Structure formats: C-alpha cells, structure tokens
Structure 1
C-alpha cells in the first residue's frame, strides 16, 4: 500500500483545496498519471501517482481543505483487480493505438487473411495538464471496415480537438464510449478486429433503418454533425438545411458540405414550408450543449473579470504611413519571403517596442509577487468556427517582419483546421486581438489570464482629421488597451498606447529604436 500525500505547495503556502479527482477508487493508474488537482491562493497543483497500481481509498474529497503532506489517498501497487500493469505511453498509444497488454498475436497482427485478433482503441495522450475529453463524433459504426490510420472519432478537450486514428486495418467492433461521453487519457474507446477476417462484415439488420434516416437530424434523436463539416459550412456560408448528410443517422460530413457547395443552386429544392401550427416558445427553441472549448472560454473570461482590476484606455492611430509602406513593398516582400506583408507584423513589432519601455504590461501577478518577462511571447487571438483560440508567437521581440508573418500565417492555418497543439497556445505574455476583421469600430477586450495586457485592434475607417491646420481625410483606427490596474498604473497604460501609436504613424522609429 502506497500513500498519496499533498506535495510542497510553494513558499508561504500551507494549505490547499482539493478541486478535482480524475480517478475513482478501483481505477488503474500508471506512474505519474494525474490523480487529482489542488487549488491554492496562488496556483493550481496537479498530484501525480507515485506508483503504478489501483487507486484505493480516497481520504480527502473534492472541496476538502488539506495541509502540506496531508494524506490524500492510498494506492495498491501492482496490477490490482486484474488489470494489465500500466506502461508508459508509447508511440502507438499517442496515435490511439492498443496497449501493451492487448498487443495482437503475431499470427494476425500483419493483417493477413485469417480471422485477426481483437485490439483496443485507446484515448491518446491529450497534452500537458489535460486529463479528459468529450467524444464529439464517431465517424465509423460498429461493423464498419477501417484502414490503418483512418479516422475513427474526434475528441474535444477544453483547448483542442483530437482525432483518433485506427491503430490497424480491420473491422470496428464494439463502441464502448458514445458521443457526448467524457473519457480519460488512456481510457478505452472501442475494440476492433485486425486483418481482413471481418472487414466486410455485413451491417446488422436492425441498423438498416438508421442508414435511411433523413439528413436534417430528424431520426428521433439529436444528431451532431462532424466538427469538420460545421467548420466547412461556416467558411462557405452554407446553412444546415442546404446539406444532405451521408453519415450515420443523417450526420453531415465534410464531403457533404463540399458537394453542396459545388452543386448548382437550381438543383437544390426549395425547403418545404414549415407547418403553420401555432407552438409555444419552447417548441421554437433549440438547446445545444456547450463544447468543452466554449465552456473553457466562458470560464476564463469570467475569471478575468472577477480576478483582475481590469481597466481600458483608448487612443487612435493614423494608418497612412503603414498602408503606404505596405503598398510600396508588398510585392517585393512576397517575392523574397514567400508570405504576404500584413498589418499584424507592424502591430506586433510596435507592441514589442512599447513593452520594452513599459515592462509591467508584459508582466503577471503570482500571489504577492510580480513576474517580469524579459521576452515577448505574443498571443494572437483567432476566431474559429468552434470558438476563440489564442496561439502564441514565441520570442516575437527577436523576430523579423517576415518571421512574424510566416509564424502567424502557419498558426492561422492550424487554427482554421483545428490542428493547434497545446504547445501552440501556452506561455503567452501579451495578446493582440483584431476585431477589425469583423467590422468592429471600438470594443473593450477582456484580459487573457494571467497576462496583464491585451491590445484591441479595430476597423480602419476614413475620417476627417485636422492635419497642420487643414482638414484631411485619413485612414484611422481606434486602439484599446485593457490592462490589470493592480500592477499597471494609468500612466504606464497610456504611455504604452502612445508608443504603439507613434511607432505605427512613423514606422521608421522601429528601425531607430526610438
């Protein structure tokens, strides 16, 4: 029997609250697998398993306050209640493959003509500090033939979407976790049979009516379309009614959206008129469960309002110089660097320049300490069909214009395709949010904790301005800096915004470090 105790919580921190248990008594655990999460007044602390075995009695429950070295739980070492001994995640595990205890025998592992062996489809590693996910979509049904590395299902965590490929060619067996269910890292999703023995297994007779289900999701239960299909519909401006789903229970797949987008409008029948039968408000409402990403966005934004003393200051910038410089060199820039010259590199450079003079905007609060960052990891807020994400341009202060544009472009493509990793979104020290791409004229951006500053860009709009005693039409943009007033004073915030304005109105200042 091994005891799990509260680790050292940090200087001057003597107690914590048990926030979440990721395991329950009787569950198998691997060495260093996360057991629970503790919250202190400074940080969140994860408690890993010291040994492999089976979780026994939980001594401190969620919500309990515990001191340093207090007993949290006990673990029975070894295989426990018949479970296979835990092993470190291998390359196969990270791809949704089988565990070592379920390795297929040599007789059928090569996908020969025999009956094949049964293997498990496992939840892959989800990333640092992420212990669970929700099953968003199953792309295959029980009995379907699958190829090696063909996508079986898609998982949603609170940060990214994770696709689970087939670990081998064969036939999908029993699906153990359905759509909407929560699964833990390393958990079992389904079973499958390798080889061609059952690859052509006929669909069950009671499944036949499902294949004929109408595309509108009216098969008697709610049908969740594939996330990739939702993304494609949003990008193409196609409504759900315009797409005929070919997936299970009428689910819309990505290829269905492509077909709908290429089909002549005349071929699309007009939607049938809705019944004039009067209905209550409840009959005209739709209740959809928030995705884990949306839940996290809501939690973090509200947390920022509740925690930080947030204040916003405004200014405006004449974009004439930046626009003229961009128009003059954009063709040469593209030819030499292979990437377009946009506005984001100018704003990123201007912010890095201003952060050198006002370092508290690039700092964060940790308990009673202020942590100053002598580097700039620039977060770039990006809107996607599934929600707002903030990928990070690391060491942006040491990058050239071309390097910044290439990095932002690469991160934008990954965000659009849902391919951002945990590492892509961690460690930001300051954030830029561009609401202008959606037509926003002015807004107050919300901080991205634990950062102390965020710059809001907005729509460029021609306005009459007094220049040298004369009224002239200039392309103007409102800038908004939201900051944590606990460590950033009003003088520092205003100075930062003025330095950004000066650098953009005269980009030569960036070259001269003025």
Structure 2
C-alpha cells in the first residue's frame, strides 16, 4: 500500500519550506519515524519522518524546491523491505561514482568480526549525500562521530573529518582554519604575480542561498531601512565577574550541574536595565508602542545554516542556573539542528556575543520588531586609570544598538550604564539596584 508523505505544519505563520536534503532515495528502505528529508524554513531546518515502514517509491520534489505545507513530497510503499535492498542500492550507487566501488573504510580490515559487522551496518544507514561525501573524501565513516539526529552522520561531519585528516598529513600547515577555509587554502590557485599556480587554476563556486540565509539577509536589511539605528558604546571592567566565577564556579557546577558563564551575568544585568528603561524592552507596531512587563531575551547562537536567536522566556524571573542551562541547551540543539520554531518565537531584547569569535568592537543590528540589542565583545587586559593610578584590568567594550524612533539617546546611554555598573558590581543584581 502506498503512503503519501506530506509537508507537515511548520509553525505559526509558516506556509512553505525548501527541500534542503533528501536523506533517502527511491529504493531505500525506511523505518517508522526515520527521517527521509530535511526541510529548511525561514528560521530552522526540520526533518520529516516517515509515518510507516517500507521502501521509498518516489520523490515528488528536488533539493532546492519550495514546497507548501500539505504538499505531497514523497511516496512510501508500505511493508517490510527486502533485507538485501539496502546493500544492492548502496553497491549500485558506489559503482556509479567514477568507478569507485568501495570506500576507504573497506580497505582497512576491522579489528574483529563484531567491528566488521558494525562498520557494515553503519554504511547501510548513510544518507545519499553522506555516502557521496565519504566516497569523494576517502574517509572511514565508522571512525567519525555523528552530530545528526540519533548520532547519524551528516555531510558536514564527513567534510570536517576529511579536513582534519588533511591537516594532520600536512603537519598543521593550515592551522586553525575552518573546514571551508582549509579547503580553499589547499586548492591550487594563481600566484600573486598573475601567473598560474602549479597544478591547478583559480576556481569559483556558486551556491544558492539557503532559505534561512535569505531570510536573515532580508530581515537585517529591512531593519536598516525601516529603523533609525544608532549605537552607543561603553567599556566595562570584568574583574568582579571574573573573580566571582573563579570563586564559585566549582560550587555552582556541583549544585546546578551547569557551568557558570558570563551570559548569565549579562542577562540579569540587562533585566535590571530594561526594568528602569522600559522603552528598550518595547517595540513599535503601526502607530502604537507595545510595552512588556516581562523580559524575553533572544540569544544569538551560531548554527550550521546561519545565526539563530532562540529566546530565554521570562529571564527576569529566572536565576543564573536556569539561564545558563537554557543557553547551553540552545547551543547544543542549534549545533544538532534541533531548534524549533517555538524556541525562536517572540523575544523583547537581544544579546549577541561576538567576543567568542574574537570581536573587539561592533555595531550590532536590532532583531525586528525589537528596538534594542546588546553586543558583547572579547575581554582583554588594558591599562586604565583607577583612583589616580594606572592599572591593568580585564576590559570589555559593550555596544547597545537601538531604534532612535522609540529610544532617546539619554535612555540608551542610561540602559547601557546600568548594565556596566551591574557587571562591575554584581551585588547590584542581588539587591535590585
């Protein structure tokens, strides 16, 4: 019996998505609830599972196609799949790949019969895109730790493993470059004097923007065009926070089972500022200003497909431990592609930490319809004057970008000053000053 696979409801106000990657191809066996396709929406990537066990009969859309909610995208022939089906499909696929009948993994004999069986089973469950990457890069999939759902290998896992292997064989000549940077660095190109480099020529690659990247570009450009953006800066002595973390980090981790980070301090400091400057926690809707008596902080998190901003709900009512756990959970799920639309819905204020990437100073762009965003940067020792003496302190530049249509300069400076003072004297957060 044939079963139609439809595009599921993707979230409030989301009516369509883009086929990001087919995880199964016609002829592949599929189990109940096994993902068969990855759909990209404006904010997240969603894996669509099969509601029945059977064999993929037909795919109704290509990778990159835009599909509406409810559209039929695949047909599954319900029923148990022949045991050898996966093996035959895999062998046929490998034989089509430029005469490469076997992967690198097949050349290395497993240490035991059990290891051999495990490697064979792993090969059978590789998605077409991952299998192709394994063949192209010549890596052993059984030695790679998967970061996908249920530990499944992704194409990014294979590429990262190949680049790590390449770096090792090259003696680390590429250094700490990211996988895509490393690949670029290892590609022969024209020399600086205009002549061709040995062994190759300069190349270009055109890659269609993901749906998420298109949405990010559109929203950020829209924020610049609609809002009256302005940024105010201040610097902050991090000595007190660093001392508090050093003193209590072990006790904190033991009691709450989470590391005490900097974001918890800044989230609570922001809550103090937003309470005293409510316009920074509001937004414009038509000819009205919407104020909030709660603080939902959007935290900018780096994900494989771009920057996402999951929301810490009621941050003003949560303690340090709960905030740190929320942030850690968001980071882990963003890496695995498991954030949901609900995770990113709403938000009244945003904190973006460019310091983790080494940024010294920046002018962050607000996250519409919000009216303000706090930018954090790297901590570095600098010479400052304290009580008439030149001393060295761990300093951080803070940036508050805001919509000048709603927030006056005095209010923006006041809000940032409150955050600075709370970080430099964390006791203020305990006694609500």
Whether contact under 8 Å (2:24, 2:127) holds in the other structure is no
Whether contact under 8 Å (2:358, 2:377) holds in the other structure is yes
CA–CA distance in structure 2, aligned partners of residues 459 and 207 of structure 1: 48
Whether contact under 8 Å (1:144, 1:200) holds in the other structure is no
Please name the residue that 1:304 is paired with. 223
The 5 Å alignment of 1:149-228 reads 149-196=33-80, 200-201=84-85, 203=89, 209-212=95-98
* 1:185-240 CA distance string (max 9 Å, x none): 1111111212226564554999675345779xxxxxxxxx98997xxx9xxxxxx9
Q: Cα 1:512–1:228, aligned 2, differ >3 Å: closer, same or farther?
A: farther
Question: Any idea what SS the aligned residue of 2:331 has?
Answer: helix
Is 1:129 aligned to 2:13, yes or no?
A: yes
315-324 or 182-191: bigger deviation: 182-191
What's the TM-score once normalised by structure 2's chain length?
A: 0.78
Whether contact under 8 Å (2:24, 2:128) holds in the other structure is no
Please name the residue that 1:370 is paired with. 289
Question: Any idea what SS the aligned residue of 1:333 has?
Answer: helix
The 5 Å alignment of 1:25-174 reads 117-174=1-58
For the aligned residue pairs, the C-alpha RMSD in angstroms reads 3.4
CA–CA distance in structure 2, aligned partners of residues 178 and 242 of structure 1: 24
CA–CA distance in structure 2, aligned partners of residues 317 and 429 of structure 1: 24
Residue 162 of structure 1, CA deviation: 0.8
CA–CA distance in structure 2, aligned partners of residues 451 and 189 of structure 1: 36
* 1:18-72 CA distance string (max 9 Å, x none): xxxxxxxxxxxxxxxxxxxxxxxxxxxxxxxxxxxxxxxxxxxxxxxxxxxxxxx
Please name the residue that 1:91 is paired with. none
Whether contact under 8 Å (1:170, 1:199) holds in the other structure is no
Please name the residue that 2:402 is paired with. 483
Residue 362 of structure 1, CA deviation: 0.4
Question: Any idea what SS the aligned residue of 1:168 has?
Answer: coil
Structure with more of its chain in strand, by fraction? 1
Q: Cα 1:460–1:213, aligned 2, differ >3 Å: closer, same or farther?
A: farther
* 1:155-191 CA distance string (max 9 Å, x none): 1111110112222221111111111111111111111
Please name the residue that 2:264 is paired with. 345
CA–CA distance in structure 2, aligned partners of residues 481 and 327 of structure 1: 27
Find the partner of 1:334 among 243, 249, 253: 253
Please name the residue that 1:492 is paired with. 411
Whether contact under 8 Å (1:316, 1:477) holds in the other structure is yes
CA–CA distance in structure 2, aligned partners of residues 242 and 134 of structure 1: 27
CA–CA distance in structure 2, aligned partners of residues 204 and 266 of structure 1: 29
Find the partner of 1:403 among 317, 322, 325: 322
Whether contact under 8 Å (1:350, 1:500) holds in the other structure is yes
CA–CA distance in structure 1, aligned partners of residues 341 and 420 of structure 2: 33
User: Unpaired runs of 5+ in structure 2?
Assistant: 102-125, 142-152, 174-182
Please name the residue that 2:180 is paired with. none
CA–CA distance in structure 2, aligned partners of residues 243 and 306 of structure 1: 48
* 1:469-491 CA distance string (max 9 Å, x none): 11100000000000010110010
Whether contact under 8 Å (1:312, 1:482) holds in the other structure is yes
The 5 Å alignment of 1:442-461 reads 442-461=361-380
CA–CA distance in structure 1, aligned partners of residues 75 and 263 of structure 2: 47
Find the partner of 2:213 among 294, 298, 304: 294
What's the TM-score once normalised by structure 1's chain length?
A: 0.67
134-143 or 340-349: bigger deviation: 134-143
Q: Cα 1:121–1:267, aligned 2, differ >3 Å: closer, same or farther?
A: farther
Q: Cα 1:149–1:259, aligned 2, differ >3 Å: closer, same or farther?
A: farther
Residue 149 of structure 1, CA deviation: 2.0
Determine which structure has greater relative contact order: mean sequence separation of CA pairs < 8 Å that are 6+ residues apart, divided by chain length. 2
Whether contact under 8 Å (1:243, 1:256) holds in the other structure is no
CA–CA distance in structure 2, aligned partners of residues 127 and 367 of structure 1: 24
